[in-house]
Structure 1
């Protein structure tokens, strides 16, 4: 029998606590210790040893670790794990900017280690089903991918704004679903919460395959919304990432002779279908993929290079909002984003 992988978690904030919960019950993995300088205030460790630093965590002989600390610390902690020969799953965004992310990519590649990024929406059942249906041509040519990610202000996030914290979900998911990298972005943002970072952004963009994109993201809406809409030749798919529901609204094939109704509804309104799809917790699926990548069984994780490309686009979104100009994504930053 193969010994379980020895795992650790760095950071016991909201996401870190969820990572610890999943790792405690993951087959083939043993959570041996967690690290947080502030201790375990929410009793997330459940009897697992709690230490105050990554160096103390490494003394437990871990094979892999999750970094769930503020974004500004990701590079330093990731490089420390790479130097110690430890595989890492780093929460998104992978780093503060594309330059820092590139250093992580280089370090893990040089060490021959698995590095993954916690872009959890890739493991959302609705998005996985949507991507599979697009791959077999159920929608025909895709015209547009639009997302809305809105909700109340999260007091836990202090070191980045909505672009890095929230919009990176939609940037990654859009490019992944379309299998195409971003070519350009144009953004407007504002800050209404009194903090130094933006809390609302509206982004228009275009992928390299010509697909038009739109992302509305904010921390100023008194309800939570996580929606992705793909419009194409045969209709539109709507993925609700909160419920993992996927609905298809097809273009109608029946002509409406009643002129007033036709003018109101449009000539292309057809039937709507909500699909029955299996739903498992995305974080569990993310950890299974990371575990299996460490064991060499599969390679469908969100790689550090994927995370770097997403941050590179986010950097350009921020630059566009600051300057008012369209930002064009450098080809070197975009290559491979559609893998």
Structure 2
């Protein structure tokens, strides 16, 4: 049974702790502890999920964990991840993998040198609707994919202060669109700005992604009063509509409309179960360090494009 922990039990980290506690009840893992700089929060979450609170993640790192989720602010990902990796612990780091390319590479290199599993929490890859859509694309049901557009909008997230919306939310759809095309992004052009976010970071953006033979568009903001999470895929043989939240997939062509039969399941649980399986069986995660690095590179290039007002190539 794997010994696991969570560092950072804010909104997302709380849910990681919840899923691990559910897996612990099923006898699949042991939730050793949760750590947070806000020790009162750590104690609250630890009490709820019957584990031990830590005020300092370094103390948790000394507990010889097999696996850990890191859900601290993005600017701390590198330091926390490397601490656990060097202790021999496999790491699931929340997206984005890091705040800079240099820090992302440092995490990847450390994991490779120690030989532990590194996974990045690009949760939408584990959404049942996205998995079904990828299956249908690979079957050729939509023909050749021409464009993929995503809308990810909602209320302001004042708790996010160390990065703007492109790195915080845009990476979700950058990763998914690249996954569905089956190739890396080649070029990026973006427009972005700040309207209301108190930290002065960009709170709205429109990102155009260039592929070898197709395009992607990501619209994202923290200005819309309600959450919308949708994806549209246009192919030569049909068009598909995904609702990430409702986990639905509808496909239209010139003759019929189909709605996929999807077994709805929490994407986070799918993600964590995949992580546990990869750690146990020494498998490469589908959202590995390289996938996380690519999404971060594109997001950073989008920021560069928004600043300079020109198309930017992605390495």
TM-score over 0.5 for the alignment?
yes
CA displacement 1:265-320 (0-9 Å, x = unmatched): xxxxx532221111111111101110010011643431011101110010100000
Match of 2:38 in 1: 38
How does 1:324-335 map onto structure 2 within 5 Å?
A: 324-330=309-315
1:105 matched residue in structure 2: 108
| Shift in Å, 1:67 | 0.3
Following superposition, the deviation at residue 40 of structure 1 comes to 4.2
| 1:56-106: CA deviation from partner (whole Å, max 9, x where unpaired) | 102322111110000000000011111111100000011002221011111
> How many residues are aligned here?
308
Larger radius of gyration: 1
Contact 1:286–1:301 (8 Å) recurs in 2: no
Unpaired runs of 5+ residues, structure 1, are 253-269, 331-339
> Greater helix share, 1 or 2?
2
Partner residue, 1:309? 294
Say whether residues 1:282 and 2:267 are aligned partners.
yes
Of 116, 119, 124, the match for 2:119? 116
TM-score using structure 2 length: 0.95
SS of the residue aligned with 2:120?
A: strand
- For residues 120 and 107 of structure 2, the distance between their equivalents in structure 1, rounded to whole angstroms, comes to 11
Whether the 8 Å CA contact 2:163–2:201 is kept in 1: the answer is yes
Q: Within 2, Cα distance between the matches of 1:121 and 1:19?
A: 15
- Partner-residue secondary structure (3-state), 2:206: strand
Distance 1:192 1:163 in 2: 14
- Provide Cα deviations, 1:99-142, integer angstroms capped at 9, x if missing partner: 21011111100110100000000000110000000011111111
Moved over 3 A (4+): 297-301
Residue correspondence of structure 1 range 153-232 to structure 2 within 5 A: 153-193=156-196, 194-208=198-212, 210-232=213-235
What is the distance in 2 between the residues matched to 1:83 and 1:300?
19
Query: Match of 2:276?
Result: 291
1:140 is the counterpart of 2:146: no
Instruction: Give the TM-score taking structure 1 as reference length.
Output: 0.88
Please give the alpha-carbon distance, in whole angstroms, between the structure 2 residues aligned to 1:24 and 1:80.
23
For 1:222 and 1:58, how far apart are their aligned partners in 2?
A: 40
